[in-house]
Structure 1
Amino acid sequence: MRTKDMRRSVAALAALAMAGACTAQGIEVHGGQRQPVRVDTTGTPGATPSPTPSDVPSGIPKQDGGDGGDGKGGRGTAATTPPPTPTPPPSPTPAPKVLWSQGDEGLDVRELQARLRQIAWLFAGPTGTYDEPTVRAVRGFQGKRGLPQTGKTDSVTWARLLNMTREPGKWDLYAYGGQPAASPDPRCLTGRVLCISKTSRTLRWMVDGRTLRTVEVRFGSEGTPTREGVFQVYFKSRDHWSTLYDTPMPYAMFFSGGQAVHYSADFAARGYYGASHGCVNVRDEAAIAQLFAQVRNGDKVVVYW
């Protein structure tokens, strides 16, 4: 063999030896390019090794189901589901507002009593004072309608009562007194005067323009009206008895024919739900007794609207 051919053979053998060594170290030559080769170090022929974390290409999430991973590539973090937000219990229904209760006074209480009278839960009054009979009447009304029996008038009780009754008129409100007296007629401002207002249903006992006493009064019916005008007391009778109507007229002070100012037991019992035969009825017996002692024959009587 020629020297040149021998050199080529030696070079080829050297190349083959280098190629085998590179293959053992994980480098494989293909078409003159060296490529990395994965080497099975477990000794199992043909086995594909599991990638280590460093072998996972970037951008691919790491999965770890063996140590409580959260599925996002993190290790040691337990997978958790947020607990549901508890639903708060419903708020209790607030108690209705109490409008009036025992001890209260005023026109509103008077209206309450007048409405209770309309449906026969109250028989006395109206007085304008929330007293024990009013408490009992309200409690009974509430119980009949399935409401809490507090005896206090709350907004629910009042609404139910409004739906069942009509608005009371002036004399429904003052059937048992308490109405304010009207301003005195100018004719009452001089001398000694029984100043009687049909508008407010009151009698003022006045001396020289000063009111010394005010009492509630009622008048005759439409068929027997009380006369209006200026009169004088002409006759007084402490224990008078009407022969015309066969009825007592105590503390009578006559001022026009058979019409007189006197005490009326019927007025005291029934209030403005009755009427006289033309006289001016007074229901406060103690008050009319004092007036009878002070009024003289000849004192002026003024009856006006």
Structure 2
Amino acid sequence: MRAGSAVGRRARRAFGVGLGLAGVVGSLTVGLAAAPAQAAPACTAAAGPYQKQAEKFLKLPVDGRQSARDCTAIRTFQTVNGIAPAAGYAGPVTWSVMKRQQSTGDRTSCPTNKGRIACVDLTRQISWIQDGGKRIHEPVPVRTGRNGYETRTGLHKIYWRHKNHVSSIYHVAMPYSQFFDGGQAFHSISGNIYSPPGSHGCVNMRPADAASYWKLLTTGDDVLVYGRKPGT
């Protein structure tokens, strides 16, 4: 009887442990299934180092103090331009993007006697398209070659286009590729256009901008690259 009782007790303990483990696993499964998506960062109440500049750019009252209205406007700008975290803080990345957008592009740096031409300003990391003296695509942010892989300056021509190109060197997708100089091309990227240190020579673009360039440009169109990217 004692041996049987011992066996019975061991069986009951094993059964209890099994139920306990099942309960823990079940709780974890329910918890994981019910876990909400990661919430967006809270809107910061702190004034960033470029608070006044951001207020002026966004046509807000310029007082250098962060308000709920300021934070909402800055946060919206960050979200639209893919700046993370989009918390409404007027930091250096946000201000650098605003500065690029402040400039409408220097028409004197891009020739007006070439017909349709895509202009790439490495210094300001922007690009636009003009046809003669008329701008037909407003400046957009770009990400050009990093140190050691600089986007080559000079006057080039688009010589090959491949909408669904995949790099044979880096094995990454390069949608809307328009090649203009020895393997360097306009193309879209899925990541953040503002992320350092830069590309391997191509002119990286946001998907919507690259798609717009694809519609406006064609083989034989000119591309002028000038200036120097900061840090190269």
TM-score interval w.r.t. the shorter chain? 0.5 to 0.7
TM-score (norm 2): 0.58
* Residue 262 in structure 1 maps to residue 184 in structure 2: no
What are the superposed Cα offsets for residues 105-132 of structure 1, whole Å, 9 maximum, x if unpaired? 8xxx69xx9xxxxxxxx9435xxxxxxx
Q: Does 1:194 align with 2:118?
A: yes
Residue correspondence of structure 1 range 266-281 to structure 2 within 5 A: 266-268=191-193, 271-281=194-204
SS at match of 1:182: coil
- Considering Cα pairs closer than 8 Å and 6+ residues apart, tell me whether 1 or 2 has the greater RCO: 2
Q: Secondary structure of 1:291's match?
A: helix
State the one-letter code of the partner of 2:187: H
Q: Which runs of 4+ in 1 moved over 6 A?
A: none
Paired residue type of 1:230: L
Please give the root-mean-square deviation of Cα atoms over the aligned residues, in Å.
3.1
1:104 aligned onto 2:26: no
- In the alignment, the residues of structure 2 paired with residue 98 and residue 276 of structure 1 have an alpha-carbon distance, to the nearest angstrom, of 35
Shift in Å, 1:180: 2.4
Which structure: greater helix fraction?
2
What's 1:234 paired with? Answer: 159
**Which of the two has higher C-alpha Rg?**
1
Change (3 A) 1:173 1:300: same
1:124 aligns with 2:85: yes
Cα distance in 2 for partners of 1:198, 1:181 equals 14
Quote the Cα distance in structure 2 between the aligned partners of 1:301 and 1:185. Answer: 15
The answer (yes or no) to whether the contact 1:193–1:299 under 8 Å persists in 2 is yes
Distance across 2 between alignment mates of 1:282 and 1:175: 14
By how many angstroms is 1:175 displaced?
5.2
1:298 & 1:251 partners in 2: Cα distance?
Answer: 16
Range moving further from structure 2, 239-248 or 210-219: 210-219
Q: What is residue 216 of structure 2 aligned with on the other side?
A: 294
* TM-score normalized by the length of structure 1: 0.45
CA distance in 1, matches of 2:145, 2:101: 20
Query: Which stretches in structure 2 are left out of the alignment for 5+ residues?
Result: 1-62, 228-232
* Percent identical: 31
* Cα 1:98–1:293 shift into 2, 3 Å: closer
Shift in Å, 1:292: 0.2
1:206 offset after TM fit, Å?
0.6
Show CA shifts across 1:240-272 (max 9, x none): 00010111110000000110011111234xx24
Structure 1: 5+ residue stretches without partners: 1-96, 114-121, 126-132, 139-166
Q: In 2, distance between residues paired with 1:103 and 1:172?
A: 17
Aligned partners of 1:303 and 1:226: how far apart in 2?
A: 8
Aligned residues: 155
Distance in structure 2 (CA, Å) of the matches to 1:278 and 1:193? 19
Paired with 1:180 and 1:265, the residues of 2 have a C-alpha distance of 25
